[in-house]
A and B are shown apart, each in its own frame.
Chain A
């Protein structure tokens, strides 16, 4: 088993899998959130379901949290190893001539997204956990929309969110299609994967930003 974890290719494979899992989660998160723009009622319904369903709460949620933690811990492990593979650095290194900024700086975009996650958890997840599992407050199926809009009244927060979504976009632009390469998929469909990556990586963070700005403007 230890040989499995030590293998560079397996590490990359695990990184790709957890990344793709998070991408799927992100899509689902987005679909629920975007309903808040159209209908308070639908948003509340979805949120209530997600917040109270046993499978979501006690099976999917721990997996998700594990996925997030695994992805960033492994990200750090790989990055440290990679940085340590060249102890004497080049005096002149022209990285931009042969690789995109995104692909070279996943650790930076990742760190921004990670800090954002901290803020995001502080904003939503921790209060939510407290509400349900610490203070055992009564179930209120209609509280979600108000809580959401309430958070986006502060301009600074909206700006932080939008900037973070920008970095998320950069992270995804490389990470999404790259995960297929790590899993061994590089064939005639790869151009399609690239297109899907671009659409997804720009579209989803843009959509999240839109939701934040929308609620800021409409509070």
Chain B
């Protein structure tokens, strides 16, 4: 993968970066594994930030009429908790898994567009930083461009925390518009989420092309691991839903900054339009959050049950059906906003129907475990926890599909309980399962099982203590998004329980962090195949070599790796092949010493440069009435433009001289890269 220096005839802005280790190698990398790792760490840091915000909320709610937070601070904390957990934790950590694993699972050496992958990552990181830069730049004055806005906040509320966005992660209009949310906080929210969406949109194109185009020989679509299938489905959902929120956020930014009237009710703007656009995106979004976790669990359960996934095709089809139907249920978030009875009936029906493919998956996972020889590793425990908690969350979800029942539940803690059961009990448990399962791929070591069990049980107990009581609090009528409740409401006890549970969750997360930190250096070495796994990412050494596969694999069946190790006896039970150990040794050998030279995408400065221009434009837009703002826009655009120009001039790989193959037969006009590509 070292490349030969050679003068290139084309224009460049920078010389090509050369370091392969150290700080600059991470800044300039185009390696999907490094990018995945960076995504993972950044997402985890945001998880901690979002978690701290959640703890602040829980402390405030632990007793009636608490004065721990002001109302403004409470609003800001729940807004940023939701925004952070959705856009800065679950989505990017899913991106981390997909980045790291997708090429490995399809037998590829990288994604289709390695530098665009780096671009996605940097835009995400800078978008997250931009969003939180509101802590520094928050300006309580009226947003620019809107005249005569009196502002409705008590100046005493202008604390640092209270200066964060406070319109909810859903940013309902007109509440989050210029009149009811003066200041710049919601502009940071709108533009920040816009940038994060851009990052995801680029990723989605990249992943789709990777899955369609870069599968190893024999890796037919129906031989792909379920995680890859779910990644494809998620990428399609992102591809088709992000544009909708992008436009909606543009509209908000224009309303707030340039005085357009999309959601300004006094001028005839329609706030319901925002709800439609938001939930047209927002409902596919919840599947974007959950499907990667479903993919992870579909990999973990078969391995630790020593059985193939029950009904592979059904799981795949159910995943695709969820994605398709996920676009047809958005208005169930709007049952109480006065949409017509016909629309209510239609969306209630479609919402109930979408429970069917989800149920299919649950039965498939149970069928996988049924009669298997279960090994209760931490990863497996989290996977089982996922299935159990997701069933609870799914069933409470079906209760919202019933319109009259939904009218009772809307805006109560019952809803909060529901979506935390699917997003925490579901997505987060799935993510932890995956972290324990694939940790050896990154480090070559195992996470401690002893600490892992403590980690699981504290999280499991803390999670249920926190969110189960919210079901009955909600049904008793406790409303969401409100900083206070009166003592006579009788909500104190269960709220206190929930707060205690939240701190137990925090303890569980700390155990996990300690485990990670310790096992990275002192964990038990994993060897090539620590779990007796089924999929091709385990046919290469741990930690993954930079070039992934010494020899690109050829796939002959679903669960290809398993069938290389096991045949079955007359009753279908797996029997380890006598040559299995030898196979593993051979794989280790070719994995460490590839027989042929391998060329990898060279690092590049342009992705980070391109991404760095974007928050500059964002700050510029927010402060566009000042000269500094105008200059920032100009500088940002110039940075992006020069990066794009340099990028388009830079080949994917450095030209290199020696190679064991004659390629003079490649016509220069049609010599498309057989490796990644240049876009």
Partners in one complex: no
Interface residues of A (CB under 8 A from B): none
